[in-house]
Chain A
Amino acid sequence: MEAKRVLELDGITKDYSGNVVLKDVSLSVKPGEIYALVGENGAGKSTLMNILFGMSVIRETGGFEGSVKVDGEEVHFQSPADAMAAGIGMVHQEFMLIPGFTIAENIKVGREDTLPNLASRVVGKSLETLNRGKMNADARRALDTIGMDIAEYARVAGLPVGYMQFVEIAREIDKENIKLLVFDEPTAVLTESEADQLLAVMKTIAAKGIAVIFITHRLSEVMEVADRMTVLRDGEVVTEKPIADTDVVEIAQLMVGRRIEKLVDDKEENFAPGEDAEIAVKIRDLYVNMPGETVRGVDLDIRKGEIFGIGGLAGQGKVGIPNGMMGMFPAQGEVEVFGEPLQFAKLGDALSKGVAFVSEDRRGVGLLLTDSIAHNIIFNTMTVRRQFLNAGLMNAKAVREHAAEMIQLLDIRCVGGGQRVGSLSGGNQQKVCLAAALTLKPRLLVVSEPTRGIDIGAKKLIMEYLSQLRDEEGLTIIMISSELAELRSICDRIAIVTEGQVSRILAPDAPDVEFGLAMSELGDREVS
């Protein structure tokens, strides 16, 4: 504690309208240190970074408690530009590069070196001529520092994806006062050799005395480069220790381990179908090209009458599976539902074969926000099954009655079926989505992230209702969720998807460490 600290976060607490996402988080980073920040989705990593960079979203939601110190002095960043001025840089997950510019121009964007001229002396600095010689030379130096031998005058447009990450890094280290560099999941889009090179670059940067915060879920990479690490879970620091004192298994356990929320009351009877149960859904070799959630070859057998959970970290492809099945994104492979193969290319094929889908993107895909609750509930049934029609026109009476029934059944808090869905709370919108899916009377219900962004009351109601559907009606349900606790509380089996493939299929009561390892890398390989 005698050493100098580049960054000290002290007692950071943050809540979004009562929902605590960070609780008394403290950490400090020394110059030249690689500091890993590990945690599940929703553990609070991105909120912490938003606070560090003074993002407007933090201020707009009521600020935060605690203090941020840079070089021992307390700072109050009002915008990312302030943070940059103080020497804190970020290597973005999505590249902030301009394809039409050269690498040098990209490295110097917004910070161009210029020379004064006649006009600039009269009008102002903005008319100074670009000093391309110096810009190129600086860019060259930055590229050399990280060991990139690409020409600084090449355009970014033609570069391989992996190189773009390095251009971003070069831009950050070209900034004269850079002290701290945050890498947010930098290896996610890189090939293996590029990832190795990036880790090497990280070490080089750290060796120059620049501190590095490394956010990742790849635990082997943490073990390889980091000096110290903090595990965040549910907004709290679970542990902070030097890498030398820990191992992959421990980190995995710390990352996942938690009490299992009792979202569903235990029942005496066990409705879970046995191993010999009829196969309801057979997925073979499924590939889905969904940006950010690519599926790369998934095989699954889902039994009739079970709730099958699909978990995994964001961006690993779990969400791609239902979206591919429903034809939302280009997909290849075979999916059979009760023996009938789905044709992905044919719009609405899954719907017409009795598969109902509650999308993870409630507002974007799930609902017509400007339409009424009633209209949303019956829409798919009306178009697919041609119900609620009277001589080709909407049967307003039948629609009203059915909507009222569903509103009561799912306890949708609203003024009436005529209310616009856009004006409902998230939980009630989710219930409308569920009502719409149930109105279809499906054979298979696919719910994707059903509890994202909704309050605990609605969450509990939805989970209970799902398990009731299985218990009483024998409905087969596939539930995709980022919240492992949720899956473990109601699912009969849980598949963990990592890097587009199923890494493990686990029982809900399997040990934490198994889940942790399955999520961090392709499980079977890591264990062996």
Chain B
Amino acid sequence: MRQNGIDMYRVSNFFIKNCVTVLFVILCIIALYITTFSPTFILEEIFMRMGRSTLLVLSLLIPVIAGLGLNFGIVVGAIAAQAGIFIAVFFFQYIETLFGEGRLLGFMADFAGIGFIGFLIAFAVATPLAILFGFLVGKLFNKMKGTEMIGGLVAGFFSDGLYQFFFLFVMGGLFTVDMMARLFPDAALNLILPTGVGVMVNINLQGNIAGAVDNVSMLRIVDAAFYVVSAVSAVMLIYRFVTKKALGLLKIAKVFVPVAILWGASHIFPAVEEFLLADRLRLIYAVEWTAFLVAAISLWRIIQEKALQKKEGVPLRPILYLAAAALVYGITWHPAVYTAFMHVRLPVLTFLLIIGTCFFIRWFLNTRLGQNMRTVGQDRAVATSAGINVNRVRIIAIIMSTTLACWGQLIFLQNMGTMAMYGAHPAVGLYTVAALLVGGASVQSAGIKNALLGVVLFHTLIFLAPNVGAQLMGDSQHGEFFRLFITYGVVAISLALYAWSRIKTASSAAQIGDPAPDTGGGAQES
């Protein structure tokens, strides 16, 4: 009876804590039931949206951990990215024409493709800008401890105002249509609004930055990986040799050998090379390979534990992983799943970057600086008394977040293929925060799994809403408004629940802090 009561309490507590996630799961199921889109199409769309949005959502994690709450200020990172892309496009449209097509970049473009060069320019311009903006926002946040979230929101609007002012009026004043025509007579596309003042509202990125990351072929990735790993290995060996440390050949070989084998295979076997020439990986392969890899590692673990180390008991975890891998692999044999999975093609480098970022964040939190961030996030007073420079740690957290958001926006825009100069950034804060909250995060705790789950759930609903609205109401406008409502609503509910629970725990802590009055035993003890 009592056991049952506790379980009921736990269950209800779980639902209250995760009510936003639960609500979204239910809404997604309803939407999937109603929608007229085919499963294959939905799957394709969701993976595409995952590819372009996940990095932005991941950029929110570090400030949450450092106790700054949900960083609505990542809008400034997006602004930095757009400034970078503008410069890159400007470069292609005007500067390069002065030298004649392709001459300036010919050599590099041969290797990576013209889009990648554009992307690198944008990256090189945007990253320092993002660091600078992040530093400024961090400084600002240190002046408003406790109100960082509303501060970040307002700072986002404010910087949007400055951004519009800059690109519509300052740039407009400097580069008039006439002047551009005189300076760059051969320029094909005009970046200036036809009225003559201000930068174009929509900038077409086709032919320069569009798909720069998505379209990098696997062969190029393998090549680049081989060069980088070779160089790093060489440097490490030399360093260790010079400083007379143990060479650690085995450890280096562990990384170097597989990469070298892959690289070698891609250049020796035409079949491998042909396969790797593609820039998209079919989802079916990704799933199957992951399943094989997990299975292999699990088997190795089991062998290691039972045969080599002769440990007692059943190695439960590897067995579970093995079973899961087998199950997933089995599912791919279902015809419907197979067709859908065959159809979805993942941009390889983009997904590698996302996975890499996830691992980076995990690694980072296990460093001294990461641990300091967690400390600052949990209790600033303890951090100060432990000798941690709280303000500095907070600024670093915001710089990292802003920079990641900037890169996330670069990825987003190269995937979109066009840049809405004045429309692409303002909503970034709202949509990423909403996605993270949908994944079960709160103001004070957020993890990678919240980010990934949130992106999937949020974008499923956002993508389906207009279609479902049209089905139910005969008008897609309802769905458009509904998704705006649900986005704002998610943020409002999550924030309110968090604030409420904080007040409740604070008052119950006060109750626990003192012996209950009715025992009256407090004084007799001593």
Contacts and interface: CB of A to CB of B under 8 A. Distances in A.
**Is there any pair of Cβ atoms, one from A and one from B, under 8 angstroms apart in the complex?**
yes
B522 interface: yes
A288 B385 CA distance: 32
Interface residues of B, number: 33
B383 interface: yes
Nearest to B520: A297
Given A296-B523, A499-B526, A522-B523, A109 B367 contact: no
A291 B526 contact: no
A101 B376 CA distance: 12
Nearest to A288: B517
A80 B364 CA distance: 29
A398 to B, nearest CB: 40
Contacts of B379: 96, 98
B522 A499 contact: yes
Contacts of A112: 368, 371
A420 to B, nearest CB: 26
Nearest to A96: B382
Interface stretch (B126-134, B219-227, B507-515): B507-515
Interface in A70-100: 80-81, 84, 96-100
A234 interface: no
Given A80-B385, A289-B517, A332-B517, A110 B369 contact: no
Interface in B479-526: 510-511, 513-515, 517-518, 520, 522-523, 525-526
Contact of A100 (B378, B383, B522): B378
Contacts of A218: 526
Q: Which of A110, A111, A294, A521 has the most CB of B within 10 A?
A: A110
B371 A294 contact: no
A291 B513 CA distance: 8
Contacts, number: 93
Contacts of B517: 287-289, 296, 332
Contacts of B522: 294, 296, 499-500
Given A98-B382, A296-B523, A297-B523, A129 B367 contact: yes
Nearest to B393: A126
B511 A289 contact: yes
Contacts of A130: 366-368, 371
Nearest to B386: A110
Contacts of A81: 387
A291 B514 contact: yes
Given A296-B523, A500-B522, A105 B371 contact: yes
Nearest to A130: B366
Contact-residue bracket for chain A = 35 or more
Contacts of A111: 386
A288 to B, nearest CB: 8
Contacts of B525: 191-192
A114 interface: yes
A301 B383 CA distance: 48
B149 interface: no
B375 interface: yes
B388 interface: yes
Contact of A84 (B232, B366, B387): B387
B523 A289 contact: no
A27 interface: no
| Consensus secondary structure, chain B interface | helix
Interface string B34-74: 00000000000000000000000000000000000000000
A501 interface: yes
A485 interface: no
A101 B365 CA distance: 13
B248 to A, nearest CB: 12
A192 B236 CA distance: 59
A323 to B, nearest CB: 13
Interface string B325-367: 0000000000000000000000000000000000000011011
Given A287-B520, A296-B523, A332-B517, A126 B369 contact: yes
Nearest to B385: A96
Nearest to A220: B526
A114 B367 CA distance: 8
A129 B523 CA distance: 48
Q: Which of A97, A111, A126 has the most CB of B within 10 A?
A: A126
A483 interface: no
B366 A129 contact: yes
Given A130-B368, A191-B525, A296-B520, A110 B375 contact: yes
A111 B387 CA distance: 9
B381 interface: yes
B198 to A, nearest CB: 41
Contacts of A120: 367
Interface string A268-299: 00000000000000000001110100101100
Q: Which of A97, A195, A500 has the most CB of B within 10 A?
A: A500
Interface in B118-156: none
Contacts of B378: 98-101
Interface string A475-507: 000000000000000000000000111000000
B510 A110 contact: no
A441 interface: no
Interface string A112-143: 10100011100001111110000000000000
Given A98-B379, A110-B375, A291 B510 contact: yes
Contacts of B387: 81, 84, 110
Contacts of B526: 192, 195, 218, 499, 521-522
B381 A128 contact: no
A114 B511 CA distance: 40
Nearest to A121: B239
Nearest to A124: B369
Contacts of B375: 98, 101, 109-110
Nearest to A286: B517
A101 to B, nearest CB: 7
A161 B514 CA distance: 10
Given A100-B378, A109-B386, A500-B522, A126 B511 contact: no
A114 B368 contact: yes
Contacts of B367: 114, 119-120, 126-130
Contact of A127 (B369, B374, B511, B518): B369
Nearest to A79: B387
Q: Which 5 A-B pairs have the closest CB atoms?
A: A110-B386, A287-B517, A126-B369, A98-B378, A296-B522
25 contacts: A80-B385, A81-B387, A84-B387, A96-B382, A96-B385, A98-B382, A100-B378, A101-B374, A109-B386, A118-B232, A119-B367, A120-B367, A125-B368, A126-B372, A128-B367, A130-B367, A130-B371, A161-B513, A288-B517, A291-B513, A294-B515, A294-B522, A296-B515, A499-B522, A522-B526
Given A128-B368, A287-B518, 6 more contacts: A109-B382, A110-B383, A119-B367, A129-B367, A296-B515, A499-B522
